Chain A
Amino acid sequence: MSRPMGDSHKRFLQTLMSNGIISSIQAKALHRHCCETHGAHYSADRLDEFIDVINANLQPMFMYIRKGMSEEDGVQYYALVNTAETDITRMSSDYADNELELFRKTMDLIVDSENGAASSTDVLNCADSLQTKKMKKKETELVLNKFVQDKWLNEKQGVYTLSTRCIIEMEQYMRLIYQDLIKVCHVCHNVAIQSQICENPTCGIQMHLPCVAIYFKGRSDPLCPACNQFWAHEIPVVTCTLSRPPEANGEAEL
């Protein structure tokens, strides 16, 4: 039998569930807060073990807390995944049928695209052809806003991408629906939607932008890690969020 959960674990789980997704920095602060609130033993480097206890107890419910990476800045996040679901039922209590259909169509557009993004024009166009119930332009914009607010999509200057939450929670669904359209990152082995693709047609591996940044950091000649040919893309710069020191300092204080 798995180790029983204390109130600290339950509080952590509840907070994660009501927030949908939390960053690893938030998770660390929350871990500490939960342990202190319930007088449980706290040790900063035991977050993974703390989550393992929760996961062992969630397993009979076909759920678990999963870590994933933001495709944009490489920051780690935690979300609750349902392994029994092969559908987007996770969203069904919050959205109407035609809104769910719009979400699926948007996902289709993003997965089919080269760069893992869909323009708002394309999304608005497909709202015209919804089978469940057509949506007017204004209405579509409101629904898309709601997807962004609820952290299922990201939006930047009229371009939509799949959010980290969406990728963590719906990976299983996406693999089932899109099958081999879904590729994994050569570096971190997670699903890669927004990524760079090796130009060598016989290779074609994919890497997330933050993974590209880390992989080629300090290397003068960017060569594909799989086929050794020149990596013909602009190499993104490692952003400050990827450097670890601040977190390490926090732990050292204790």
Chain B
Amino acid sequence: MSQRKRVAHAGSQNRVPRVSRQVVLDEDDDGDASYTQPTSSQVQKARENYTPVQVDRKVAEVVQFILIKDQKKIPIRRTDIVKHVIKEYKALYQDIMKRADRIFEQVFGLKLVEIDAKNHIYILINKLQPVPGEPISMCPGNPKTGLLFVILSVIFMKGGTVKENVVWNTLKKLRVDVGEKHEEFGDVKKVVTEEFVRQKYLEYLRIPHTEPLEHEFRWGQRAEKEVSKMKVLEFVGELHSQEPQSWTQQYREATSGESSQR
């Protein structure tokens, strides 16, 4: 028994460093693995150097890496993908990402979108919207989704930009007070101005020349790509028992958005 136990413990100990490496992924960045465009001969050479099986394996690792990041809706940086997964296969970056992208679309119903072309930052957006009547929710255990949807609605109905006070006042009417700790959301201001912003659902910008300092909200890039404006309008329409068409300007924007989004 003790013999066998030792196997177990030695095993688990060995594995701790690997996990800690995974955990620190978010914070570290020293630009070591910064990606430079390979020359075509480098690409050619790399293609010959690695077997298809090896490259398949890399593609699978990239897909898994991005899926894990996406669970927390953390935007994914090219430097991180290269540094932690692609490594010595760097010259094949384009090949590998193209295939990963195809897998996200064909297998998971997700799409990899570059939201920052300068720093090469990606997010995964969902191509399948949640629909009514789900026997099990597609986004369970996230009561914050409702909060987010309300804020996106306010912004959309007010023409795309709103001062933060408008948002806080609306939430107050729904008994969510930014000044107090909410039992479900915790620090509401932090969730809205930090978490939603980091996840790229919202933009929270300083309004110049304001004294005291004021901020305004806009839709973030993830919201633009992932959230249907028509759904928002239908939601608002239901709240006010009105047809979505009665908001002409918003309706026009929502319909034109539907055709360009997909």
In the complex, A17→B138 CA distance in Å? 9
**Contacts A/B (CB < 8 Å), 18 sampled:** A4-B106, A5-B107, A7-B128, A10-B107, A13-B108, A15-B137, A18-B140, A29-B135, A60-B56, A61-B63, A62-B64, A84-B60, A84-B61, A89-B22, A94-B72, A177-B7, A177-B12, A178-B4
Q: Are B12 and A14 in contact (CB under 8 A)?
A: no
Query: Chain B interface: which size bin?
Result: 35 or more
Contact status of A10 and B15, CB under 8 A, knowing A26-B136, A37-B131: no
Least CB distance, A106 to chain B, in whole angstroms: 12
Q: Residue B23 contacts which of A33, A37, A62, A96 (CB distance < 8 angstroms)?
A: A96
Q: Residue B4 contacts which of A33, A37, A63, A179 (CB distance < 8 angstroms)?
A: A179
List of B residues within 8 angstroms of A19 by Cβ: 136-137, 140
Q: Are B133 and A33 in contact (CB under 8 A)?
A: yes
Size of the A side of the interface (Cβ < 8 Å), in residues, is: 49
List of B residues within 8 angstroms of A60 by Cβ: 56, 59-60, 103
Among the 9-residue stretches A97-105, A119-127, A193-201, A238-246, the one with 4 or more Cβ atoms under 8 Å from chain B is: A97-105
List of B residues within 8 angstroms of A176 by Cβ: 11
Least CB distance, A40 to chain B, in whole angstroms: 13
Least CB distance, A26 to chain B, in whole angstroms: 5
Q: Residue B128 contacts which of A11, A84, A87 (CB distance < 8 angstroms)?
A: A11
In the complex, A33→B135 CA distance in Å? 7
Q: Residue B8 contacts which of A18, A37, A177 (CB distance < 8 angstroms)?
A: A177
| Chain A 83-121 near chain B by CB (<8 Å), digits 1 or 0 | 010011100111111001100100010011000000000
Q: Are B136 and A29 in contact (CB under 8 A)?
A: yes
Q: Tell yes or no: A30 within 8 A of B by CB.
A: yes
Q: Tell yes or no: A140 within 8 A of B by CB.
A: no
List of B residues within 8 angstroms of A180 by Cβ: 4
Q: Tell yes or no: A82 within 8 A of B by CB.
A: yes
List of A residues within 8 angstroms of B140 by Cβ: 18-19
| Chain A 43-70 near chain B by CB (<8 Å), digits 1 or 0 | 0000000000000011011110000000
Least CB distance, B55 to chain A, in whole angstroms: 11
Of A13, A33, A89, A95, chain B has the most CB atoms within 10 Å of the CB of: A89
Q: Tell yes or no: A132 within 8 A of B by CB.
A: yes
Q: Are B18 and A87 in contact (CB under 8 A)?
A: yes
Q: Are B128 and A14 in contact (CB under 8 A)?
A: yes
Q: Are B134 and A15 in contact (CB under 8 A)?
A: yes
List of B residues within 8 angstroms of A63 by Cβ: 64
A/B pair count, beta carbons within 8 Å: 120
Closest 9 CB pairs of A and B: A10-B109, A29-B135, A92-B22, A177-B11, A61-B60, A57-B107, A104-B12, A93-B68, A92-B19
In the complex, A173→B223 CA distance in Å? 38
| Chain B 99-122 near chain A by CB (<8 Å), digits 1 or 0 | 000010011111000000000000
Q: Are A89 and B19 in contact (CB under 8 A)?
A: yes
In the complex, A17→B160 CA distance in Å? 33
Q: Tell yes or no: A22 within 8 A of B by CB.
A: yes
In the complex, A62→B107 CA distance in Å? 13
Q: Are A10 and B136 in contact (CB under 8 A)?
A: no
Q: Beyond A84-B60, A89-B19, A181-B4, list 18 extra A-B contacts (CB 8 Å).
A: A7-B109, A7-B128, A10-B109, A17-B67, A19-B137, A29-B136, A61-B64, A84-B64, A89-B68, A93-B69, A94-B71, A94-B72, A97-B23, A100-B19, A108-B12, A177-B8, A179-B7, A179-B8
List of B residues within 8 angstroms of A131 by Cβ: 16
